[in-house]
Chain A
């Protein structure tokens, strides 16, 4: 069966800057893959490239069976991206926002209502304008918009950021439920303990390239120190070696 995500030596540009300098990544259906790496490693760009928001200019890039270099539209409709930006309208209420984006994603009324209930927004916060919400509540609202969409591929960029303990638990529960329902998840997170407990596999990125991959589990927490300039291929990874990558079948 074709992987849900298949990147091979993928190069992506942000303007003229090579944000990805040759990433290899395969994600099978139903997997939860954690992208790890220091700031600027390319985690967000990989997620945005998989959503068809950053153009892949070289290499192989297939998501949900579609070539990202030729056929972006069907991919975009089937993925859900939870990024740093909320995508919410400040003057509209939580319910207005979730309803608008739900309908924009062709979700039915029942799915939209369910999306409001799951992150705990259906009662107290439902009619509150987004401008009055805290950062964590906005994150929950973005999550509700994602849930209304019912994506096949969840792309989560720092999904635990800015959330309290209960909300982090909620995110983990929703991710597990989505995977149980057949979805696939690729995420990045700096909350490594929590993210690795959730993930099936970890892929290490540095300076826009894939360094290594391994099953999720306890590891040396220090991010690899990469001596290369951003955008160039890493010339030396000086961190202590992780436990031997026992399963690198999806990573070149």
Chain B
């Protein structure tokens, strides 16, 4: 399974490196959203400072939708799904590989957005350990749930609109948990954030297992 995951993750990341969609489209979109929030909420006022964790994660989720849709679309290309079904690849490995590739793109986006909130919103990252752990757990949660739901809507004509409709409610606990943990890390009491980080980790584990078990069936059904 891990060999297959490495193969698929390498393919998805190579496609990304060649097409540069994340660099040229998703990253500018994410920064634009961050800047628009700053325009909408007075950058000098206290509202933006209080809302920084939520705005950061809302931006991450919106950007993640683009990355997930792009990842799902890769396997919808002309005959790729049939070729995957005929291959010797373990469906759980395909799922893991795709989730890892999405997670890698999200980590890059989160670093960029992190720099953005420090510069634009004046955020002060105090609890670095909690921030890193939250990012890791939330990224895994978003990537695994997103990959699973991306496969679920794959092949449907309305997939572009259906994916956010299905995925965003599912990711609501991730948004809440990551925002609370970031809130604690950015000026609050870091110890208060760790239970939320645990919730994110549990979510990631749940969707990793569900995805690994269900991906083969979704591959056959779509």
Contacts and interface: CB of A to CB of B under 8 A. Distances in A.
A91 interface: yes
- Contact residues of A: prevailing secondary structure: loop
A105 B87 contact: yes
20 contacts: A52-B86, A77-B86, A77-B87, A79-B86, A80-B86, A83-B82, A85-B82, A89-B11, A91-B15, A91-B18, A91-B19, A92-B11, A96-B11, A100-B7, A100-B11, A103-B7, A104-B84, A104-B87, A104-B88, A104-B89
Interface in A162-221: none
A87 B78 contact: yes
A53 B86 contact: yes
B19 A105 contact: no
B74 interface: yes
Contacts of B19: 91
Contacts of A92: 11, 14-15, 18
Contacts of B119: none
Interface of B: 4, 7, 11, 14-15, 18-19, 74, 77-80, 82-89
B74 A89 contact: yes
Interface in A134-162: 145
A129 B11 CA distance: 14
A86 interface: yes
Interface residues of A, number: 27
Contacts of A240: none
Interface string A90-104: 111000100011011
B85 A85 contact: no
Nearest to B16: A91
Contacts of B18: 91-92, 129
Given A89-B15, A100-B11, A104-B83, 10 more contacts: A53-B86, A77-B86, A83-B82, A87-B78, A87-B82, A88-B77, A89-B74, A91-B15, A104-B7, A106-B88
Contacts of B86: 51-53, 76-77, 79-81
A96 B89 CA distance: 17
Given A53-B85, A92-B15, A86 B7 contact: no
